[in-house]
Amino acid sequence: MRQIRIKEIEEPDFGCEGRPQGESVFVKIWAEDAGTGEEIVCRMEEKALWQSGIDEGMQVWMDERGELRRRKLAVFFPGWRHSTDRALLYYPEKLCRNLGYETVLLHYDYPRDRKTENFSFEQTEEQAWKTVQTELDSRKLNDYQEILFVSKSMGTVLAGKAEREYGLTGVRHCFLTPLPQTVKYFKEQGQLVVAGTKDPYFPVEDLESVCEKREMRYYLVENVGHNLEVDEIQGTLWILTEVMRQIENFIRWESRPPL
C-alpha cells in the first residue's frame, strides 16, 4: 500500500448519446506517488468515488489492487494513570487498525507508583499537553480525510483541546469517562460518551443532563466508577464487551460530520 496525491479527476464525456443506463461508469484519475513523485493514472467507478469523498488535492492510499482509500487517523489520549496498554484503549486501537486507520498512541503517563506526588489538574494537563503538541505537530493533519480521537479521563480534555487548538473540523470523539472540564468540548454530532454511574469525578446526574440537552450519544454503565471495572473478573469482562460494542458501532456506523 502506498500514499498518492490526487492531481486531477476526469469525468466521462458521453457526448450526444448521454449516460448509459444500467452500466458502471468510471472516471480517470491522475495522481502522483507522495514519496517518489511517480506519475500514476488509474480508474475508479464514479459511484464509489462519490461515496468515498475522494477529491482533487487529497492524499489517499492506493492498495495492491490499485484501489483508492481515504486516509484515516485515530489518536489515543490516555488518562494520567490509564495508559494505552490497558483494555479500554488497547482494544479500540486494535479495532481501528483493522478498519484501516493509522493509529497514534500518546504516552504522557507517569509511572503508576507516583501516587503521593501532589500535582494540580492544571499542572498535569499542561505537562501532558506538551506531548500532544509534539506528536500532532509532526503530522500533516490536513492530509487525512477522517480523524478520530479516542480518549480516557484527563485525555478527554486534551482531545477536545487538540481539536480546537489545531482548528480541526469533522473530528469524531469517543470520550471515555470524561471530566467536568471536558464539557466545553461536547457537541451534538460525531461524539460518543461512555461513563459509569458511580464515577466520583463527574456525577451521573450532571453528565446525563448535559448529554440529553445537547442530544449527544452516550452510554452509562450501571454501578461502576471511573475505571469501568468491578471486583469480579467476569463482570469486568462483560462491561468491556458492552463498551467495545458501543465503540465499534460508533466508529463503524456513526455518520461523519462534514469536513
For residue 143, what pLDDT band results from cuts at 50, 70 and 90? Answer: confident
**Share of residues in the chain with pLDDT > 70 (%):** 89
Q: Within 10 Å of residue 26's Cβ, how many Cβ atoms?
A: 15
> What is the average per-residue pLDDT within 68-92?
90
CB 200 within 8 A of CB 225: yes
Question: Pairing relation of β-strands 191-196 and 217-221?
Answer: parallel
In 3-state terms, what secondary structure has residue 258? coil
How far apart CA 204 and CA 218 sit, in angstroms, is 12
Contacts of 3 (CB under 8 A, 6+ apart): 33, 34, 35, 59, 60, 61, 62, 71
Strand order in the sheet with 59-62: 39-45, 26-33, 2-10, 59-62, 68-69
> What is the average per-residue pLDDT within 209-215?
95
What is the Cα 181 distance to its own chain's centre? 20
* The pLDDT value given to residue 150: 98
User: Which position has the higher pLDDT, 192 or 35?
Assistant: 192
User: Which three three-digit cell numbers place residue 103?
Assistant: 493509529
For residue 124, what pLDDT band results from cuts at 50, 70 and 90? Answer: confident
Q: Within 10 Å of residue 146's Cβ, how many Cβ atoms?
A: 19
Average pLDDT over the chain, rounded to an integer: 87
For residue 167, what pLDDT band results from cuts at 50, 70 and 90? Answer: very high
